[in-house]
Amino acid sequence: MSESKYFVVKQKAVPEVLSKVVEAKRLLESERVSTVQEATDRVGISRSSFYKYKDDVFPFHDNAKGKTITFMIQMDDEPGLLSDVLHIVADYQANILTIHQSIPINGIASLTLSVEILPNTGDLSSMVEAIEKLEGIQYLKILARE
């Protein structure tokens, strides 16, 4: 797995296509449009641009404290790996709200994890990076921020 890095960039430095992907995602989430085609037409980008970047760009909210973050993690079916993930969440002092792990298929388990970001929770980007660096983590995506 290639190592992911996270950057916080001021909006004026973000290429226009990435800003439009975020806007299209916002339109879809708010249900003001019902299809990706409608969203991309409205913001003026191609569907291929949307699909290329949709999983990798999202707005940064420095007011994440008190929010719920839901992650989807694909991980090797190895004893102790889930425990390692949960220890990282605990080390960053986030509150675990829900955990759902699927039955592993071909040695890979899917985990959905919702955590509450508390006032004393450490840096969210660092927590995500620490989870991603664990041996056996194949994929991590932030599904929702509420």
> Token digits for 64?
């994440």
What does the angle CA 73 – CA 70 – CA 94 come to, to the nearest 5 degrees?
100
Where in the chain are the domains?
A: 13-53, 68-145
Residue-level pLDDT at 44: 95
Confidence of residue 64 (pLDDT cuts 50, 70, 90): low
Are 94 and 120 in contact by the 8 Å Cβ rule? The answer is no
CA distances to 9, 24, 43, 71 from 4, rounded to whole Å, are 16, 24, 28, 15
In three-state secondary structure terms, 96 is: strand
Q: Under CATH, domain 68-145 is a member of which superfamily?
A: ACT domain (3.30.70.260)
* Segment 12-30, tens digit of pLDDT: 788 899 989 988 988 888 8
pLDDT at residue 5 greater than cutoff 70: no
Closest by CA to 14, choosing from 48, 58, 49, is 58
- pLDDT per residue over 110-123, tens digit each? 999 999 988 888 88
pLDDT at residue 82 tops 70: yes
pLDDT given for residue 81 in this prediction: 96
Q: Specify the pLDDT at position 45.
A: 95
Tens digits of residue pLDDT in 30-60: 888 899 999 999 999 999 999 998 888 876 5
